[in-house]
Amino acid sequence: MATPVLEPAVQANIDQWLNGNYDEQSKATIRQLLSEGKTGELTDAFYRDLEFGTGGIRGIMGVGSNRINRYTLGTATQGLSNYLVQLYPGEQVKVVIAHDCRNDSDTFARMIAEVFSANGIYVYFFEGLRPTPELSFAIRELGCHSGVMVTASHNPKEYNGYKAYGHDGGQLTEPHDENVMAEVEKIKSVDEVKFTPIVKNIETIGAEMDAKFLAALKALSISRDAIHRQRHLRIVFSPIHGTGGVLVPPVLQAFGFENVQLVQEQMVVDGNFPTVIYPNPEEKEALNMAIEQAKATDAELVMATDPDADRVGIAVRDNNGEFILLNGNQTASLLINYVMLAWKNSGKLTGKEYIVKTIVTSYLIDKMAAAKGIECFNTLTGFKWIGKIMTELQGKKTFLAGGEESYGLLVGEHARDKDAVVSCAMIAEMAAYYKDQGRSVYDALLDIYVEFGCYQEKLISLTKKGKSGAEEIAALMEKYRQDPPKTLGGAAVVTIKDYQTSVSHNLQDGSQEAIDLPQSNVLQFFTADGSIISARPSGTEPKIKFYCSANAPLATKNDYVQVQKELELKIDAIMKDLGV
């Protein structure tokens, strides 16, 4: 067979691996692909170096410079080590490492610990799989300078990744994210990575940290009397083969819930996720098994977490007794409203409390917070921005809760990242609180809509692959900037916020205001009737995402289905006006 012809850059990367200090098994795999003429596979694996982005790295596992493997993760860790040593001169730098259930996550985590240790950094290493929020908690609890979570979140089984954290327990933000990226890019050879461990620099942690984490969560419970009266609330929980199985059942027990059913098939730790197509609680299919069990046992609440337990999806019964999945905006609205309400009813509010959400998350939350006199901050997309505000306001104000439409929530200040463990506990508490009043979670949602307006949100993603796709997305954003729509869904566009230029344009009087957030390639259109449409190219996928929100008054709960249908039609009309 003829030797495959590859682009020079691809061939150069392949040669570097074949001639460099890489293991023989990796080299044999490359030679096999070459002999079989697998040019497409080789190109995809070697056409670039896997980028260390603002939150770390994520990709398909395998051999190659554009794959997740010992060498790409080792290089990332060496770059992070170099930066930490520079940032904290004269200090004993300390880090925490945890991993999820994915294939090879434990092996990768051990290797990462060894590289840190070889750089003179002291490592606290979790003995087994643990949720992302516990890593965030442990960084703060142990006074560490950084941390790494080995996970690809809710991506398919072929993926793995690496989330890097700062001393506050939050994912890296500026300037540290870009500084670490620069250090990683400086590493030109795998020979610069220190793989030989210094064993005395690695300490195993586990049960004691679990106990501290669970105690911190238990202290957040507000409606303990309601839980006691409703302790037999029938709950079904699934970790979808991931880390939620380690701590969600114990935290529900600690809160006082005595009738928690586990989906046993999905309690099995398995990086192949054999019972689902995708281990993503945003997908209906991922909750099917839990819902079927709930139907069979007459349960009232279904909850499922993703592999690293930082996102939660829930299902509740509607007024016909049928299970419905709540979207991320609905769950965030319900939970954040409950926390604000419970604090108010308990007389705990002092005027210094606040909540945080992202700019693409339901503005129903802003309206509810304003009605209760609680400050609501809006951040860019990504929970790291919520964590950043929490760190800035620590000791000055009290964080109650935060959330984003992509099923990530946090209650309490114990962590600086989204936490499905505490979310499960507080969602169950919320269900018990409403049941104690003779209401369901679904009733509570409709009551919110009657009081504040019915909100309908929808996320539409357009996938545009390859170089041409990226150019299409860029052209679309440029078109919206140069020739913005004057009406959407039959209503006039009154405000346009451009987060790339940090300017908010009032189209009614021609005035402009500065946007006090970091620059980001996001456009928002606000209409006269309260609709909000956000356009944002994804930073991790070849997609452009449109977050659409429409709302209308809801006179009575009986009108909900009809109003919801009308809002869905309005969103369809808006997207048609945008040419999507």
The catalytic residues are 153
What is the distance between the alpha carbons of residues 284 and 296, in angstroms, rounded to a whole number?
A: 18
For 271-324, give the secondary structure using H, E and C: CCCCCCCCCCCCCHHHHHHHHHHHHHHCCCEEEEECCCCCCEEEEEECCCCCEE
What is the distance between the alpha carbons of residues 407 and 306, in angstroms, rounded to a whole number?
A: 10
Residues 153, 49 contacting (CB under 8 angstroms)? no
Amino acid at 338: Y
Residues 488, 463 contacting (CB under 8 angstroms)? no
What is the distance between the alpha carbons of residues 291 and 285, in angstroms, rounded to a whole number?
A: 10
What is the distance between the alpha carbons of residues 111 and 108, in angstroms, rounded to a whole number?
A: 5
Residue 171, classed as helix, strand or coil, is: strand
Find the DSSP H helices in 119-175.
132-141
- Residue 428: enclosing H or E segment and its boundaries? helix 420-436
One DSSP character per residue, 188-221 reads --GGGS--S--GGGEEEE-HHHHHHHHHHHHTT-
Residues 399, 356 contacting (CB under 8 angstroms)? yes
Quote the tokens at residue 529. Answer: 């009737």
Residue 492 zone, left/alpha/beta (φ > 0; ψ -120 to 50; rest): beta
Name 41's Cβ contacts closer than 8 Å, sequence gap at least 6.
33
Quote the tokens at residue 281. Answer: 């609680």
What is the distance between the alpha carbons of residues 138 and 123, in angstroms, rounded to a whole number?
A: 12
Quote the tokens at residue 216. Answer: 């911190």
One DSSP character per residue, 72-110 reads HHHHHHHHHHHHHHHHSTTS--EEEEEE-SSTTHHHHHH
How do 146-150 and 159-165 pair as beta strands? Answer: antiparallel
Name 253's Cβ contacts closer than 8 Å, sequence gap at least 6.
260
Residues 248, 424 contacting (CB under 8 angstroms)? yes
Residue among 191, 200, 171, 437 nearest 310 (CA):
171
Q: How many CA atoms lie within 13 A of 74 on its CB side?
A: 21
